């Protein structure tokens, strides 16, 4: 998080612009303004809080609708007078019901979704209670069991490839990809490292 003591509030008469960006999709969600107190409140609550120029008071986004912006990180620009707040929205951001205040859709693209799924798998890997998580149970079973599961899913995909049932084929393809991500995590590697290999081969 940022140090509020180094923020330059002088240019905006005590306020600085705050750009809210989805931490997962990278989409810009909205623009608001904050004073030192609202920034400190954001950090304390873990929910993005602005200073409302119309209401002349602190305003936590979502305080009425429940569509909070959960604060992940805050960074200052090079001039120390603009804040980039990375958040995770709990519902639509705009008062019109749109995902963003510019009417844009805020959805994960394919690679972003895979990275989010990989993050979830990483979190499951750290769980000790395997009774509540299939993934945690696989990790607890060891690398041989995980590798075996990937092999089984690959065989099932090959079998479905010989037929023309689109739903079953795609389902098995998804199962294989999911267990492949688990295998990568079990070996201590990431999807990004695999992509880098593919990039290198493509040169």
Task: Domain 4-89: give its CATH architecture.
Answer: Roll (3.10)
pLDDT for 1 equals 79
Model confidence at 130, pLDDT cuts 50, 70, 90, reads: confident
Q: Is the pLDDT of residue 129 over 80?
A: no
Model confidence at 176, pLDDT cuts 50, 70, 90, reads: very high
Annotate the chain with DSSP letters as a single string. Answer: ---GGG---GGGTT-EEEEEEETTT--EEEEEEE-HHHHHHHHHHTB-EEEETTTTEEEETTTTTS--EEEEEEEE-TTSS-EEEEEEESS--STTS-SSTT-------HHHHHHHHHHHHHHHHT-S-GGG-HHHHHHHH-HHHHHHHHHHHHHHHHHHHTS--HHHHHHHHHHHHHHHHHHHHHHT--HHHHHHHHHHHT-
- Segment 156-172 shows an average pLDDT of 97
For the chain, which residues make up each domain, given as ranges? Answer: 4-89, 110-201
Q: Is the pLDDT of residue 2 over 90?
A: no
Average pLDDT, the chain: 94
pLDDT for 69 equals 97
CATH 3.40.50.150 is the classification of domain 110-201 = no
Q: The sheet that has 28-34: what strands, in order across it?
A: 28-34, 16-22, 83-89, 69-76
pLDDT for 191 equals 94
Q: Is the pLDDT of residue 50 over 80?
A: yes
């Amino acid at each position: 998080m940022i140090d509020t003591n180094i923020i330059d509030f002088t240019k905006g008469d005590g306020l600085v612009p705050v750009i809210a960006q989805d931490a997962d999709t990278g989409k810009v969600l909205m623009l608001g303004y904050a004073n030192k107190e609202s920034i400190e409140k954001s950090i304390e609550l873990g929910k993005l809080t602005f200073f409302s120029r119309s209401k002349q008071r602190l305003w936590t986004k979502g305080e009425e609708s429940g569509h909070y912006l959960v604060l992940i990180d805050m960074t200052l620009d090079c001039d120390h007078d603009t804040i980039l707040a990375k958040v995770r929205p709990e519902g639509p951001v705009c008062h019109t019901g749109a995902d963003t205040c510019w009417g844009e859709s805020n959805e994960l693209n394919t690679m972003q979704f895979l990275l989010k799924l990989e993050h979830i798998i990483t979190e499951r890997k750290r769980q000790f209670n395997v009774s509540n998580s299939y993934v945690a149970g696989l990790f607890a079973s060891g690398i041989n069991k995980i590798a075996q599961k990937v092999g089984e899913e690959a065989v099932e995909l090959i079998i479905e490839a010989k037929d023309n049932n689109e739903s079953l084929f795609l389902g098995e393809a998804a199962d294989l990809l999911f267990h492949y991500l688990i295998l990568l995590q079990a070996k201590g590697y990431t999807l990004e490292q695999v992509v880098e290999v593919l990039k290198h081969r493509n040169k």
